[in-house]
C-alpha cells in the first residue's frame, strides 16, 4: 500500500490516530447499517449490545445483524492495519462472509443474477 500524501491541508498522515478514530466509531457505523436495514435500534442499544450485554425488545436476528456488522468493521480495520487490504473480490467476499452471516441464504460468495 502506498503512503498517503495530503496535498490540500498540509496534514501529516497519522495511521495510529486514524485507526483509533475508526475503532471509536464502530458503534455509530453499526447503528447506521442496521437502521438502513430496517432494524430500529438506538445508538445506546447498539453500544450496549457491542459491550456484550443483551438488549430487550429486539429479535435475536436483529442483535446478530448488529454483532455481524461490528465484526465486519473490525475485520476491515484489521486488514488495513496489517497492510492486507486491497480493493478486490476476495476482500469483499471475506467482509460479506462476516457481515452477512446467517442473514442471507449464502454468505461469502457472489450469487449469479437470475
What pLDDT is attached to residue 68? 93
Axis-axis angle for helices 43-50, 60-81 (nearest 10):
70
* Model pLDDT, residue 14: 82
pLDDT in tens, 65-113: 999 999 999 999 998 888 888 888 888 888 888 888 877 666 556 665 5
**Res. 26: pLDDT tops 70:** yes
In this predicted structure, the answer to whether residue 31 has a pLDDT above a threshold of 90 is yes
- In this prediction, residues 6-27 reach a mean pLDDT of 86
- All 3 cell numbers of residue 101? 452471516
Neighbouring residues of 8: CB distance < 8 A, sequence distance ≥ 6: none
pLDDT in tens, 40-65: 899 999 999 999 988 888 888 889 89
Q: What are phi and psi of 110, to 5 degrees?
A: -75, 140
- Where residue 28 falls among pLDDT bands split at 50, 70, 90? very high
pTM: 0.78
Amino acid at each position: 500500500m502506498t503512503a498517503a500524501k495530503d496535498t490540500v491541508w498540509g496534514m501529516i498522515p497519522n495511521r495510529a490516530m486514524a485507526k483509533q478514530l475508526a475503532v471509536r466509531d464502530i458503534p455509530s457505523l453499526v447503528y447506521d447499517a442496521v437502521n438502513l436495514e430496517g432494524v430500529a435500534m438506538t445508538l445506546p442499544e447498539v453500544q450496549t449490545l457491542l459491550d456484550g450485554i443483551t438488549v430487550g425488545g429486539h429479535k435475536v436476528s436483529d442483535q446478530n445483524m448488529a454483532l455481524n456488522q461490528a465484526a465486519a468493521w473490525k475485520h476491515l480495520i484489521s486488514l488495513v492495519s496489517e497492510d492486507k487490504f486491497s480493493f478486490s473480490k476476495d476482500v469483499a467476499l471475506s467482509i460479506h462472509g462476516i457481515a452477512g452471516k446467517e442473514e442471507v441464504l449464502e454468505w461469502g460468495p457472489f450469487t449469479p443474477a437470475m
